[in-house]
Amino acid sequence: MTASAGFKAQLKSGANVVAEIMKLDLPIAVAQYATTKLTGPAGSNAETFIPGLANSTLKADANLDMTDTNGQLAFFNSIATGALFTLSVLTGVTTTSAFGISAYVKSFNAKLDVGAVETLALEFQATGAVTYTP
């Protein structure tokens, strides 16, 4: 994969581009289960592990735009309905290279400051595996 400038990235909900996105963060973590056993005085003191369940969240920072009915407003309304979203994080490498995520809104944090632009911090909780299409 070749490097790509971050400004080419997009967040889509279904087929709709979410408006005003400024930053996306997609950490994927894998739980590590301890398998260390008692080895007696002559044994190793090193811990051992096996991989467990994977977990992911998607964090997005945006300029607040509640006229974005298929994006930001839909995310806000889902707080009451518990709607599941099919999200795509397009990387900008190609027109189709994207991470795919089924996720629920975990937090919706509108930030309103008299001395700054109104912003929104969103966090989504993935349910199931994150996929990647080159």
Instruction: List domains and CATH numbers for the chain.
Output: 6-133 (2.30.110.20)
**pLDDT (tens digit, 9 = 90+) per residue, 82-132?**
999 999 999 887 788 999 999 999 999 999 999 999 999 999 999 999 999
DSSP state of 121: E
Burial (CB < 10 A; 0-12, 13-18, 19+), residue 89, is: buried
Instruction: Look up residue 73 and give its DSSP letter.
Output: H
Q: What is the pTM of this model?
A: 0.89
